[in-house]
Amino acid sequence: MYLYHFGLGELPFTLTPNTNFYLPMTMHDEALAVLSTALQTGEGFIKVIGEVGTGKTLLCRKLLNEIPAHFVTAYIPNPYLNPDELRRAVAVELGVKQAQRISLQLLTQRIQARLLELHSQGHSVVLILDEAQALPEDSLEALRLFTNLETETRKLLQVVLFAQPELDERLAKTEFRQLRQRITFAYKLRAMNADEVQQYIQHRLQVAGYKGAELFPVKICQKIARVSQGIPRLVNVLCHKMLMLAYGEGHYKMTGKLLKAAVQDTESIEKYSKNKLLAFSCLGMLSAILLTYYTLVVK
């Protein structure tokens, strides 16, 4: 690969949610602050919404790594589960014995007993679901019923939902109005702006061990921001491909030509973004032609 070529210790633009590469940008810090406040106040439902590739899973991992010690977490990364499967998955995460074998009625009793036990020990329990938009409708209702478990002063189970905007569309339905009313804290992740994209690229290179001259000039970062629409995952894809192409050609600096090749090779880049890049390239060529004409003819 290109590690030795650029003097890198590891791949800087992988798609895995590695928290070592976490960059404390405003939107992610705000989301973590909302989550921390909501969890400390004991709210029932908390929701974080973001488009595909905006860093929800990375934020989820960051929360799991930094949640205070008195919290007991149940983490379900793939919630495409029917109500029975969901209850059993939660029970397993909470350490309920024989969770996969006992009857549903007994399982519910043991989950409640386990929550009361943890509460008596001074623990707060939080259920964290990534990709929550994949929950079947009857499982969403089962999730709401989970939060009915409470003492006179506090919920025995808090729920954090990380999801794509499709979840909001589903929750807007009349049949989910009870669940919707229980979501007391919510945050919507946005895409990065051009300055944040540049900061993001330089940060990941630095974490990966890069110490050489500037690899991604400011203008290239701005173009990457345009065609990726500021989506971190797409920025990673494009930067990774550009580094591979540069390595193959023996180059040490990213160029518009490399970006154009990376964009053309990336299906997830929307067609109009590709057209924007092409138009931008044509505009640059036109400017060069006009400048040459001015130099040769006008002067």
- Return the CATH number at 74: 3.40.50.300
Q: Does 183 share its domain with 42? A: yes
Residue 280: predicted pLDDT: 43
Mean pLDDT score of the chain: 87
Q: Structural domain tally of the chain?
A: 2
Stated pTM of the model: 0.84
Q: What is the mean pLDDT of residues 125-140?
A: 93
Whether residue 18 is contained in a domain is answered as no
Distances from the Cα of 257 to the Cα of 39, 207, 245, 263, 298, angstroms: 48, 26, 10, 10, 30
Whether residue 177 is contained in a domain is answered as yes
Domain extent, residue 116, equals 26-188
Span 28-60, pLDDT tens digits: 999 999 999 999 888 778 999 999 999 999 999
Tokens coding 5: 């070529």
Q: Does 269 share its domain with 154? A: no
Q: Does 198 share its domain with 160? A: no
Whether residue 272 is contained in a domain is answered as yes
**Helix (H), strand (E) at residue 273:** helix 271-293
The answer to whether residue 279 scores a pLDDT higher than 50 is no
Whether residue 223 is contained in a domain is answered as yes
Whether residue 4 is contained in a domain is answered as no
Whether residue 174 is contained in a domain is answered as yes
- DSSP letter at 158 equals E
Residue 146: predicted pLDDT: 82
Distance of CA 223 to the CA centre of its chain: 22
Q: What is the mean pLDDT of residues 140-158?
A: 82
